[in-house]
Structure 1
């Protein structure tokens, strides 16, 4: 985004107008912490209407729920302040843990719950009688800021996600079409085909992030949302199909068993037919989304039943980061208790924010250092506002002019840099912006700044104690998760859901692609992992079907799954089970019954995936 891009300055103007209106109304109605309303405008305002509504709803809900929780803690533990601090720390850590597990916009509400609980319950532990007033004031100020953002956005250049949605969806479909062309024309292993494949996988994951905001965009109808979900679901199903189609040319020509080769060829023909039908449905749904073309009744019904691609939680990472949050909280509260520092609660708050918001990133330490740097810049900005600007603002018009000189350029920067929002929010949050300005003593201001930076630095050390960082480690962790998930599918019937397994596997593959190399590099990270995905889906199908069969075929499938499990447990070559798999294929071909076709499909899928899946497991062992 260029510096003179009109969209950048429209966003800055909207942010500034919302902040000034919120400040004026707060002063007018007599709310005591007017800067809370202004900071809320800085945080909630977004270039798109859907994102504003999303953050507004969850910020308000998180704040309100935390206010109620704080009052409940105070009513039960007001006479035992140390226990109240412990309980508040545990509850806020659990809230941050929920935010780490929930990869939807709802996570923001859980984060704000944890932040508000620290502000109300922990910072106010010495004066529990004032907690009710603090909670009510914070809810009112934040509600006011949210209302002002919504009001300004509704009258000043509201921006829907719909245009971006159509543009990005067309790009995604172009990438999928390129991959289909590659698969159909036999371009199996060149860099262009690998790049097309990688783009599609990253696109499918990106659609989930976009889908999370669609429900809150008033300009995107329910039907359009369902069309996006339906297209995403079909693209998800197309990925393993295309990978299997490309694997066919690598596996079948070298197969010396004519019967097995014939069965694989039959499976390939069925796969092409299903892929063609599915891609045709994608085209029809896209035509309905973009041009309003009516769909057949049965397809329209399936579109209404579509759901967004779920983003599975990373439980292991969430547990480690939660441990870092609790450790930072304990250390900072201990420092506060030992020294009796009046600004100890502020250090606790900033430490929790640093780990809770940035601790799950691959380079969490670097991210927290960046947060510390921007926080230091924000504190310098707060000093300029508090001791340079506000004392000269004799009336409201002068205040508006002075703040405009700061907020507009920083707001324009924030349109493309989320850290600039932190700069503005923390800067304004550390000023005593009230109806009548009375600057705090400069030494007190410096002490507050020191506590903020100390909390962030302690947070940085704590996150380094509880987890390893770096993209390479994240990729290895995802590879290990793939192996564990595959083992679980072979063991547990309740985990043997092919679509659920595909969701989890594709999410991991997208994460590995993004960390391993640029999408356009043609790196082959996706190929072996897609083979594992196809193997896992085939195993999941066989696991489900084995429970519904009886006789020799069931015994053969169970024996096959046992062999796969043994290979995974001992990191042996899965290629060793190929003779057993070929016998199962011949037996299934000769069998009768309604499940025969499904068993055949699972066995064919596993047979095509086996060579690459075995190599991928050995490489990641």
Structure 2
């Protein structure tokens, strides 16, 4: 019903029609060239065009590059392995299952468009190898592998010609719009944190959305290297700017938490916040920063504003105000640094402001889900083995197509928590395509005698499917229908239509995904709630790890990975209110890890025999126990109580620290840990 609703609501725009028509033109051109070159399987040329099709030229080009790369690897493996194992079908199937599962495992860990190359290397080997086995009496291994590679390249070249030469739509402007929207959302949240009493209580939900946008944009930025917009080649600078923006999000969390804590003690201080906010906003809107040294400049009345704020706060609020002042200073510096980076990126400047240390995008700083990658690779292994066993045991002529489709569908959707609904839609698309193929094969194509006639009769069905591509709710139907149509029609230089072969091939196109659905449901599928629980466990483990990481580049990379994980967490459609609350609290917990590192720094600065040093070390052990209990879903309340009591003791013990700077910094960090990690609502509640 929902699909029907989206279909009836579809109103293709001008850009949709341009995309569909030029993609159809590229497919027809690829098929014509494949016919002219008398390639063995021209169908792969036109199918390649429709598989890599994307409204954005950069996305299409990057997918084309990685498809050629993956296909070349898969073809090479087929050429090397098939002659050795072709006479031992069970061993050959075992090798292919191991190869596909290994490639899929790496692909799932990559989390960038590069993963497509690993994906293709896996199932392309299966497609070429099984096709070779089915045609071993008429073709050589090298001939079929080389032919497949050429067929793919023809499709890729034609797709590139159409997407880059005919009214190209670049991804760069979309990136600019998304970055601008993130900047706007960030400024709005900053305004509300200072001026809206209600917003400061729920600000983390708004920031969670920003972390999800940053995580999504980071993986898409790689497409910028494959297009002609003014952001061409700016993948790494954009990703580095997103790193810094995620740090700004953590900084805003720390600010909001301090304001929330100040509100709980005595809200009268808020009378001074509008003036501070107005001066900061005016300063941020002033002429843009041009050089790195200017990043350290603060508003002229910054110190006077905070002196006035200090005079309107209670003694208990003094430490929190000092921490808020530090956080606002960092926010201003970070905001200007990010603005300068974005200005340089738009001007084609790759350089990073000298005041900032790059996180080096080659570092493994993004979240990687090894457990889900393992489950996905195991399910692919079982699918290939099971489909291969059915083919070997039954001797079904079209069984090779079933095994190929099973391998493909076992790989393409495994990044989802539960790929079963999407696989069902894939199979549904193949069923619809089989009906249309029957009409074409036995009703339309027998009347076609010229190539231009073929193009004309194919246009309605093909363009109709392509119009579904740009609309996410309908893409899951349009793509499998398009693949089913091209593969079902099985284009050759000579028309060959056989009713038995048609039903054979149609059944294979349906049974292959059915095998994947069954295996995925048993082995791979998990609910979004289960996925979120696993990510939360990884989050608590990462927080615990920061207890032992000194502040520096490695620490910042670790923090970036934590914020990226929160972005992934917020993409989950969880149903449990408890889980939703834990996800909302996760970003608050991230704001405290800088304080964990700061405590380790302060321990080094204090005299080794100082009594407070032993207490701080005991605090570290308690935090480790507390976070470990949360990670393993154990009873953490007892550890939480002990931890809060220890923080209370340390707050009193800071009076014995002679260095007032160290004492103040220590108190700020202890308060942040108490409220952000232990989630104490009232700063005084444990003292009583």
Give me the TM-score of the superposition, normalised by structure 1.
0.87
2:432 matches 1:422: no
**C-alpha separation between the residues in 2 aligned to 1:364 and 1:541?**
43
Q: Which residue of 1 aligns with 2:30?
A: 22
In structure 2, the CA distance between the partners of 1:580 and 1:41, relative to structure 1 (3 Å rule), is same
Give the alignment's Cα RMSD to 1 decimal: 3.6
**C-alpha separation between the residues in 2 aligned to 1:35 and 1:485?**
49
User: Aligned ranges for residues 475-494 of structure 1 at < 5 Å?
Assistant: 475-490=532-547
2:433 matches 1:382: no
Is the 8 Å Cα contact of residues 543 and 593 (structure 2) preserved in structure 1? Answer: yes
Q: CA deviation at 1:138?
A: 0.6
2:668 matches 1:610: no
**C-alpha separation between the residues in 2 aligned to 1:527 and 1:384?**
53
SS at match of 2:491: coil
2:369 matches 1:314: yes
**Residue 332 of structure 2 is aligned with which of 276, 279, 285?**
276
More deviation, 372-381/214-223: 214-223
Q: Which residue of 2 aligns with 1:530?
A: 587
**Residue 96 of structure 1 is aligned with which of 92, 104, 108?**
104
More deviation, 125-134/383-392: 125-134
Is the 8 Å Cα contact of residues 132 and 140 (structure 2) preserved in structure 1? Answer: yes
Is the 8 Å Cα contact of residues 541 and 602 (structure 1) preserved in structure 2? Answer: yes
2:460 matches 1:405: yes
Q: CA deviation at 1:305?
A: 7.4
User: Aligned ranges for residues 214-293 of structure 1 at < 5 Å?
Assistant: 214-221=224-231, 224-225=234-235, 228-252=238-262, 262-289=318-345, 292=347
More deviation, 22-31/492-501: 492-501
In structure 2, the CA distance between the partners of 1:219 and 1:88, relative to structure 1 (3 Å rule), is same
In structure 2, the CA distance between the partners of 1:310 and 1:564, relative to structure 1 (3 Å rule), is closer
**Residue 580 of structure 1 is aligned with which of 636, 646, 656?**
646
SS at match of 1:514: coil
TM-superposition CA deviations, 1:568-621 (whole Å, max 9, x none): 334323353234335556559937699999877754542441332899xxxxxx
User: Aligned ranges for residues 440-459 of structure 1 at < 5 Å?
Assistant: 441-459=498-516
SS at match of 1:423: helix
Q: Which residue of 2 aligns with 1:619?
A: none
Q: Which residue of 2 aligns with 1:618?
A: none
Q: CA deviation at 1:197?
A: 2.5
**C-alpha separation between the residues in 2 aligned to 1:604 and 1:288?**
38
Q: CA deviation at 1:67?
A: 0.6
Is the 8 Å Cα contact of residues 469 and 475 (structure 2) preserved in structure 1? Answer: yes
Q: CA deviation at 1:264?
A: 3.6
**C-alpha separation between the residues in 2 aligned to 1:59 and 1:589?**
65
TM-superposition CA deviations, 1:316-363 (whole Å, max 9, x none): 111112211112222222222222222222222222222212233233
2:569 matches 1:569: no
More deviation, 494-503/225-234: 494-503
In structure 2, the CA distance between the partners of 1:596 and 1:16, relative to structure 1 (3 Å rule), is farther
In structure 2, the CA distance between the partners of 1:545 and 1:450, relative to structure 1 (3 Å rule), is farther
More deviation, 541-550/444-453: 541-550
User: Aligned ranges for residues 470-549 of structure 1 at < 5 Å?
Assistant: 470-490=527-547, 497-516=554-573, 527-539=584-596, 542=599
Q: CA deviation at 1:97?
A: 1.5
**C-alpha separation between the residues in 1 aligned to 2:41 and 2:88?**
28
**C-alpha separation between the residues in 1 aligned to 2:432 and 2:604?**
63
**C-alpha separation between the residues in 2 aligned to 1:138 and 1:216?**
24
**C-alpha separation between the residues in 2 aligned to 1:98 and 1:588?**
53
Q: CA deviation at 1:260?
A: 7.7
Is the 8 Å Cα contact of residues 194 and 524 (structure 1) preserved in structure 2? Answer: no
Is the 8 Å Cα contact of residues 74 and 125 (structure 2) preserved in structure 1? Answer: yes
SS at match of 1:611: coil
**Residue 116 of structure 2 is aligned with which of 85, 108, 112?**
108
In structure 2, the CA distance between the partners of 1:226 and 1:78, relative to structure 1 (3 Å rule), is closer
Is the 8 Å Cα contact of residues 489 and 496 (structure 1) preserved in structure 2? Answer: no
SS at match of 2:132: coil
Is the 8 Å Cα contact of residues 496 and 544 (structure 1) preserved in structure 2? Answer: no
**Residue 433 of structure 1 is aligned with which of 470, 491, 500?**
491
SS at match of 1:45: coil
Is the 8 Å Cα contact of residues 387 and 403 (structure 2) preserved in structure 1? Answer: yes
TM-superposition CA deviations, 1:509-533 (whole Å, max 9, x none): 3333333479xxxx86654112222
In structure 2, the CA distance between the partners of 1:438 and 1:270, relative to structure 1 (3 Å rule), is same
User: Aligned ranges for residues 67-146 of structure 1 at < 5 Å?
Assistant: 67-125=75-133, 127=136, 130-146=140-156
In structure 2, the CA distance between the partners of 1:589 and 1:175, relative to structure 1 (3 Å rule), is farther
Q: Which residue of 1 aligns with 2:447?
A: 392
Q: CA deviation at 1:119?
A: 0.8
TM-superposition CA deviations, 1:41-93 (whole Å, max 9, x none): 11122111110111001000000001111112124334433212211111011
In structure 2, the CA distance between the partners of 1:245 and 1:35, relative to structure 1 (3 Å rule), is same
Is the 8 Å Cα contact of residues 244 and 608 (structure 1) preserved in structure 2? Answer: no
SS at match of 1:427: helix
More deviation, 58-67/3-12: 3-12
**C-alpha separation between the residues in 1 aligned to 2:603 and 2:144?**
60
**C-alpha separation between the residues in 1 aligned to 2:437 and 2:544?**
54
Q: Which runs of 5+ in 1 are unaligned?
A: 616-621
SS at match of 2:159: helix
**C-alpha separation between the residues in 1 aligned to 2:199 and 2:642?**
25
Q: Which residue of 2 aligns with 1:163?
A: 173
**C-alpha separation between the residues in 1 aligned to 2:375 and 2:600?**
32
**C-alpha separation between the residues in 2 aligned to 1:540 and 1:451?**
58
Q: CA deviation at 1:410?
A: 1.8
In structure 2, the CA distance between the partners of 1:407 and 1:546, relative to structure 1 (3 Å rule), is farther
User: Aligned ranges for residues 177-216 of structure 1 at < 5 Å?
Assistant: 177-185=187-195, 187=197, 189=199, 193=203, 196-216=206-226
TM-superposition CA deviations, 1:396-455 (whole Å, max 9, x none): 11111111222222222223233312211221012231222222x211221222122122
In structure 2, the CA distance between the partners of 1:223 and 1:12, relative to structure 1 (3 Å rule), is closer
Give me the TM-score of the superposition, normalised by structure 2.
0.79
SS at match of 1:122: helix
In structure 2, the CA distance between the partners of 1:347 and 1:482, relative to structure 1 (3 Å rule), is same
Q: Which residue of 1 aligns with 2:43?
A: 35
Is the 8 Å Cα contact of residues 414 and 421 (structure 1) preserved in structure 2? Answer: yes
Q: CA deviation at 1:467?
A: 3.8
SS at match of 2:489: coil
SS at match of 2:467: helix
More deviation, 107-116/189-198: 189-198
TM-superposition CA deviations, 1:489-517 (whole Å, max 9, x none): 44678999443333333233333333347
Is the 8 Å Cα contact of residues 260 and 582 (structure 1) preserved in structure 2? Answer: no
Q: Which residue of 1 aligns with 2:618?
A: 559
